[in-house]
């Protein structure tokens, strides 16, 4: 219980039992971000949600301390494209769509199907279910405020 309370109060600095905190993770990811920034060809990153949150924070120009509140969509390719003059454009490409009854998942097989995909509430990102609704709401408010002036799009 005390660990979970610390996590709710400060998710960025709290170390997971036997693991690392987001702050530790960011230190470890610094060289990866430099490598990705220097690539001249498309780069694919497949990873755990915490790493994706940190990387998305960087490419969205969001304060890294707020990365724990970033929702990472399930079954989706999140694409960051450099924008002339600096910054990044963000697009989302779902890999699966809901079946006709809206319950199961079916593969998206063509580019045109991307715009027709809808998700139910059960497909929400996995981080927010670990944070209390009050903490999650306040993080979302902070994130939406920090997006002002960034190059992220939905």
Cα separations in angstroms, 56 against 51, 63, 102, 110, 120: 9, 11, 28, 26, 23
Cα three-residue angle 142-144-148, rounded to 5 degrees: 110
* Alpha-carbon gap, residue 111 to 95, rounded angstroms: 10
**How much is the average pLDDT of 76-83?**
92
Mean pLDDT of 11-39: 92
Average pLDDT score over the chain: 75
Largest interatomic CA distance in the chain: 49
Higher pLDDT, 3 or 1: 3
**What is the average pLDDT across 97-121?**
55
Q: Is the pLDDT of residue 24 over 90?
A: yes
Asked whether the predicted pLDDT for residue 130 surpasses 60, the reply is no
Q: 3 pLDDT band (50/70/90 cuts)? A: confident
- Tens-digit pLDDT profile for residues 131-143: 334 444 454 555 5
pLDDT score at 99: 56
Residue 28 vs residue 134, higher pLDDT:
28
Lowest mean per-residue pLDDT among 11-20, 69-78, 114-123: 114-123
- Tens of pLDDT, residue by residue over 63-76, are 999 999 999 998 89
Higher pLDDT, 133 or 4: 4
The answer, yes or no, to whether residue 12 has pLDDT greater than 60, is yes
Nearest to 43 by CA among 60, 55, 28: 55
């Amino acid at each position: 219980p005390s660990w979970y309370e610390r996590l709710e109060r400060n998710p960025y600095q709290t170390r997971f039992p036997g693991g690392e905190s987001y702050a530790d993770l960011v230190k470890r990811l610094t060289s990866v971000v430099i490598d990705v920034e220097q690539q001249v060809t498309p780069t694919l990153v497949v990873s755990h949600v915490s790493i994706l949150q940190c990387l998305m924070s960087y490419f969205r120009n969001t304060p890294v301390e707020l990365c724990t509140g970033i929702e990472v969509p399930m079954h989706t390719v999140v694409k960051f494209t450099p924008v002339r003059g600096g910054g990044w454009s963000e697009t989302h490409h779902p890999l699966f769509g809901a079946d006709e009854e809206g319950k199961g998942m079916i593969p998206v097989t063509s580019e045109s199907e991307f715009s027709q995909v809808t998700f139910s509430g059960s497909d929400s990102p996995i981080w927010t279910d670990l944070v209390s609704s009050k903490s999650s709401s306040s993080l979302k408010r902070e994130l939406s405020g920090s997006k002002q002036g960034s190059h992220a799009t939905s």
